[in-house]
Structure formats: C-alpha cells, structure tokens
Amino acid sequence: MDNCIFCKIANKDIPGKIIYEDDVCLAFLDLSQATYGHTLVIPKKHFANILEADDETVAHLFVVAKKLSASIMSNCHANGLNILTNTDEVAGQSVYHFHIHILPRYDKEELTIEFTDHSNQTNLDEVYEKIMK
Ligand code: AMP
Ligand code: ZN
C-alpha cells in the first residue's frame, strides 16, 4: 500500500534490521526499542490491523512470534516478555499495518502495562449478556 512505512520495509524500499523472513511475514527490530530487543512481526501483505487480516496469516504470525520470542529471550537474557498487537488509535496503534510487538522484559519498571482493578464498578452479568448476545 502506498505511503505505508511497513509495506516499504516489506518491499525493501526502506531499510529495516530484519531478523527473520519467510514467504508470508518478516520480523525486524522496532526503532524505538521500548525494551532491549523489541521486535515487530508483520505480514508482507498489507492489512490495517489484526481484525482485517485473514485467519491463516494471523495464525502464522503468532507462531513465528512465539518462535522468535524464545530465541530473543534466550539471546538477550530476558526474564520474560509481552506479546501484543495494538488495534486502532485508542489502543495505541500508530502504524496501520498489522504488526505484533515482541517486548522482552528485564524488570517490572521499564514498561507499564497496567490492569486497573475495576471489579467493584463493573457488573459481570451485564458484561456477559452484552458479549454473548
Ligand atoms: P504501534 O504503536 O503499535 O502502531 O507500533 C508501531 C511501532 O512501529 C512503534 O513501536 C514504532 O517505534 C515502530 N516503527 C515505526 N517506524 C518504524 C521503522 N521505520 N522501523 C522500525 N520500527 C518502526
Ligand atoms: Zn502496509
């Protein structure tokens, strides 16, 4: 897709530190390095986000992300990792080409992904009914 930075990396129009490539996807180092070894896995074909991508591509990318996570964790001596994909602006997506973040973790403070407990303000029965309808 024109003007998509990740399509440009996939097409080798602009450089990326590519650590893995196959027919369907590639993985390269995220410029920001939110944590040491921060890597992105993207499909070569353009999809705006995970919901737009076909199931086969999504499944393949997550298997690749899992395999790369194991080698990155081991080679970078990480203690854990987060695997996530941001979908839409409100969730922090800034590049609208589906990508999976691999974020190796070394300590709890370097990155904040906070799950605030709202259990006293949320009716689980109501949530259940909404999701199941
Ligand atoms: P998101 O906010 O989930 O859309 O993530 C987009 C990520 O792409 C950010 O972490 C950026 O640092 C990263 N990024 C943007 N441009 C490039 C680039 N040219 N090469 C590598 N990473 C990039
Ligand atoms: Zn693209």
Q: Is the pLDDT of residue 54 over 90?
A: yes
Q: What is the pLDDT of residues 82-96, one digit of tens each?
A: 999 999 999 999 999
Strand order in the sheet with 39-43: 18-21, 25-29, 39-43, 100-105, 80-84
- Taking the CA of residue 85 as reference, the ligand 1 atom at the shortest distance is 3
Closest by alpha carbon to 81, among 52, 53, 103?
Answer: 103
Among 90, 95, 100, name the best residue to mutate to test ligand 1's pocket (greatest count of ligand atoms within 8 A of Cβ). 95
Residue 38 annotated to the active site = no
- Could you tell me what percent of the chain has a pLDDT over 70? 100
pLDDT score of 84: 97
Lowest mean pLDDT among 33-37, 78-82, 92-96, 114-118: 114-118
pLDDT per position as a tens digit, 104-116: 999 999 998 889 9
Candidate of 17, 40, 47, 99 to mutate for ligand 1, largest count of ligand atoms within 8 Å of Cβ: 40
Q: Which ligand is nearest to the CA of 40?
A: 1
The predicted structure's pLDDT at residue 113: 84
Q: Is the CB of 90 under 6 A from ligand 1?
A: no
pTM for this structure?
Answer: 0.96
What confidence score (pLDDT) does residue 114 get? 87
Q: How far is the CA of 6 from the centre of ligand 1 (A)?
A: 8
What is the distance between the alpha carbons of residues 105 and 80, in angstroms, rounded to a whole number? 5
Catalytic residue (choose from 38, 60, 97, 99): 99
